């Protein structure tokens, strides 16, 4: 199974996961042109399906374009679909390509099993996803205010995790955001801080977990080296050998990240 973030950040998100016979995207919050260039750069085929985490524009702005261009279904929760359609966020989608996912119920596409799970975020009905294929488990969860028990349960046993590492608390507090937005970002329905990300990863680590991507970094309230350093320090303080037991990578904001082949 192959995994590659095409883009990750507040300016746009899309994650590619595929096997030789199946290709899916988690979110398309970038332009169709940029997505297609990203897929081409890693030698990936157009998607067989798109799975949406929630309706914020940095996750869905390109979903309709890609669905119509390649005639592929879009999967999202029922309340997410209601919000998308009420505000005409992605344009007209043929009824056959409008699919509903339910938290805890796997959706099988060829040799991949995709399962949504509830996450705490200020949107209609947000979810993260686990993807099972070829004997491996990949988990993607961003845009969450804290790591709930449901998130813990679903991320357990993963071979690869992409987890939000959104902001540095000091940068957020001293940054340009107004107070109400600062409170939203750091609240229980907001975004995960570097420290919270690091502490969960240290708690959740098992020898099965081989790759971690830090995703959805804030451009205003974080820095890539700061995020990496924070997580690295916490993991190494728990005697986890980063680079040996665990590969730690950054999900790039504006370009495809280094792909991983789980084999």
DSSP string, 3-53: EEEEE-STT--EEEEE-SS-EEEE---S-HHHHHHHHHHTTPPPPSEEE-S
Query: How many domains in the chain?
Result: 1
pLDDT attached to residue 172: 98
Calculate what percentage of the chain has a pLDDT beyond 70: 100
Kindly indicate the confidence band of residue 36, based on its pLDDT and cuts at 50, 70 and 90: very high
- pLDDT tens-digit map of 140-177: 999 999 999 999 999 999 999 999 999 999 999 999 99
92-125 pLDDT, tens digit each: 999 999 999 999 999 999 999 999 999 999 999 9
CA separation for the pair 259, 236 (Å, rounded): 24
Contact status, residue 76 vs residue 101, Cβ threshold 8 Å: yes
Q: Where are the beta strands (DSSP E) in 123-209?
A: 127-133, 136-141, 160-164
Select from 48, 33, 75, 15 the least CA-distant residue to 84: 75
Which tens digit of pLDDT belongs to each residue from 205-248? 999 999 999 999 999 999 999 999 999 999 999 999 999 999 99
Query: What CA–CA distance (Å, rounded) separates 151 from 141?
Result: 8
What is the C-alpha to C-alpha distance for residues 89 and 98, in angstroms, rounded to an integer? 14
What token pair was written down for 94? 């043929």
Please tell me the distance from the alpha carbon of residue 68 to that of residue 155, in angstroms, as a whole number: 32
Cα–Cα distance measured from residue 221 to residue 208, given in angstroms and rounded to the nearest whole number: 32
91's torsion region: left (phi>0), alpha (psi -120 to 50) or beta?
left
- pLDDT bracket for residue 126 (50, 70, 90): very high
Contact in structure between 204 and 155 (CB atoms under 8 Å): yes
User: Are the C-beta atoms of residues 32 and 38 closer than 8 Å to each other?
Assistant: no
Work out whether strand 23-26 and strand 49-51 pair parallel, antiparallel, or are unpaired: parallel
CATH of the domain at 152: 3.60.15.10
**Range of 96's domain?**
2-261
Q: What is the pLDDT of residue 137?
A: 98
Q: What is the mean pLDDT of residues 57-79?
A: 98
Q: How far is CA 205 from CA 38, 113, 237, 239, 246, in A?
A: 30, 23, 13, 11, 9
């Amino acid at each position: 199974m192959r995994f590659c973030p095409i883009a990750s950040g507040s300016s746009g998100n899309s994650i590619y996961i595929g096997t030789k016979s199946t290709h899916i995207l988690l979110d398309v919050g970038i332009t169709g042109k940029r997505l297609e260039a990203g897929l081409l750069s890693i030698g990936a085929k157009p998607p067989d399906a798109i799975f949406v985490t929630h309706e914020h524009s940095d996750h869905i702005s390109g979903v309709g374009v890609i669905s119509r261009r390649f005639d592929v279904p879009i999967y999202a929760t029922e309340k997410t679909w209601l919000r998308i359609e009420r505000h005409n966020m992605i344009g007209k989608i043929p009824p056959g390509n409008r699919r509903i996912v339910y938290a805890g119920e796997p959706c099988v596409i060829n040799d991949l099993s995709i399962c949504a799970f509830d996450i705490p975020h200020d949107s209609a009905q947000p979810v993260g996803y686990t993807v099972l294929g070829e004997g491996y488990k990949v988990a993607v969860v961003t845009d969450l205010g804290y790591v709930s028990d449901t998130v813990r349960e679903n991320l357990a046993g993963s071979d690869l995790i992409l987890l939000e590492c959104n902001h540095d608390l000091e940068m957020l507090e001293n940054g340009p955001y107004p107070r109400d937005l600062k409170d939203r970002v750091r609240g229980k329905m907001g975004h995960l801080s570097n420290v919270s990300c690091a502490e969960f990863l240290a708690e959740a680590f098992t020898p099965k977990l081989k790759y971690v991507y830090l995703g959805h970094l804030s451009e205003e309230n974080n820095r890539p080296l700061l995020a990496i350093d924070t997580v690295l320090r916490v993991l190494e303080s728990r005697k986890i050998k980063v680079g040996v037991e665990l590969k730690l990578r950054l999900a790039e904001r504006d370009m495809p990240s280094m792909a991983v082949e789980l084999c």
